[in-house]
Amino acid sequence: MNVYEERRKKINAWMTEEGITMVMFQHTEDQRDPGIRWITGFPGDGLLFLSSVSLCGSLLIPWDMNLAFIFSDVESLIPYNDFERKPIIALKAALEFFNISAGSKIEIPPVTPYPIFLEYLEAIADFDVLCRNNGVHAEIQTLRAIKDAEEIEIYRHIAGITNELIDLLEKNAKAGKLKTEGAAALFIEAECRKRGCEGVGFETLAAGPLRSYGIHPFPAYTMGDFATKGLSILDFGVSCFGYTSDVTLTFAKEPLTKPQERMLTLTERAYRSALSQVQSGIPTKDIAAGVDRLFSNAKKKMPHALGHGIGLEAHEFPMIRNRKDNNWILKPGMIFTLEPGLYDMAHGGCRLENDILLTENGAETLTNARIIRL
């Protein structure tokens, strides 16, 4: 049984327990769900239907059949074009395909817009349509938060490439070969692909001293100065098999102002403090609250979360943030970022972000991002 079959088996068991007969997944331009890739390996646009009636109940309805022949592990394939690329028509066809009896529970994506939900209710009025935040889709996101052996192996590979690029970026910056935001970002674009990556995991954010005040600079990168006097931020990830790393380097070029030095010191301290708290059983909220307290004692405020899980999405579970509704507890197999940062309109910003794997033996820092002094 391959990894996709194993995952479908788990989902099938959960569906059976919950009495769900068929579930629908949608990965299209207006509604993204990398869960389809997790379940079948297929990275393209389309719909996926799983039926709990049989263990072979998987039907992929891809936009691009040519791509699906090559990339998908699934029992059945029908072109999306056969249904005018309309989810509602495909849904009705899937019910017929699996021969689902009237009255059965059919679960649709929890992100289904309310007006579309009403259309579904009308179109398949004979069925019990579920659209909820605690259904199959949420269960899959929870399963995805704990990486399996295959995923951890992929992450060790991605981290290796990421670390190679970090070292080269430091070397190039020190040699004066990284003088624009574009030079840094394009270097990553080219070098990750040379190493067999699918690409960057998200648009590289490169902000020279004039733009590092922003959490996420806009535009993501320009041809403006980078790694010149002051603080520059470089936030990037590289992706293999759909999984992305996510790290942030800060380049600090002397002479620095006192407030800049203080931001760097505090950020490094916050990072070490957070990392020292990482262990199985710890609520992630407590780690984030500790960092917020550390900054607050220094009369500073971090305007974003401390971190987040990574995987097929750059941001996924577990949450690592100081918010009342965050009930995530660290468990072995989780891979997540820690990324304290501070931002100032006058002095610029800094952030330090690494990817952490929690194993049975404790935290393992997969990546080597750091504050690089020039």
Residue 171 lies near a copy of itself (rule: CB under 8 A) = no
Cα(76)–Cα(97) distance, rounded to whole angstroms? Answer: 10
Based on the shown chain and the rule CB under 8 A, indicate whether residue 267 belongs to the binding site for a copy of itself: no
Residue 168 touches a copy of itself, criterion: CB under 8 A: no
Given the DSSP bridges, would you call strands 46-51 and 58-62 parallel, antiparallel or unpaired?
antiparallel
131 interacts with a copy of itself by CB under 8 A: yes
Query: How far is the C-alpha of 62 from the C-alpha of 85, rounded, in Å?
Result: 9
**CA-CA distance, 287 to 367, in Å (whole number)?**
20
367 interacts with a copy of itself by CB under 8 A: no
Angle (nearest 5°) at CA 232 between 226 and 233: 115
Closest CB to a copy of itself among residues 161, 363: 161
Q: Which two tokens stand for residue 178?
A: 């990284």
For residue 109, the surrounding DSSP H or E stretch is: none
Stretch that binds a copy of itself, among 16-24, 108-116, 168-176, 259-267 (CB under 8 A): 108-116
Alpha-carbon distances, residue 292 vs 11, 258, 340 (angstroms): 38, 22, 9
For the CB of residue 238, give the shortest distance to a copy of itself in the complex, in Å. 12
- Is the Cβ of residue 185 or residue 278 nearer to a copy of itself in the bound state? 185
Least spacing, CB of residue 58 vs a copy of itself, in Å: 20
To the nearest whole angstrom, how small is the minimum distance from the Cβ of residue 302 to a copy of itself?
10
- Nearer to a copy of itself by C-beta: 186 or 289? 186
Rounded least distance, CB 159 to a copy of itself, Å: 19
Per rule CB under 8 A, is residue 199 in the interface with a copy of itself?
A: yes
Cα gap 345→241, rounded to integer Å: 38
Question: Would you count residue 81 as binding a copy of itself (CB under 8 A)?
Answer: yes
CA–CA distance, 341 with 363 (Å, rounded to integer): 21
What is the DSSP track for 284-325? HHHHHHHHHHHHHHTT----S-SEEE-SSSSSEEEEES--TT
Residues that bind a copy of itself (CB under 8 A): 29-30, 43-45, 63-67, 69, 71, 79, 81, 84, 110-115, 117, 131-133, 182, 185-186, 189-190, 193-194, 198-199, 203, 213-216, 218-223, 303-304, 315, 323-324, 343, 345
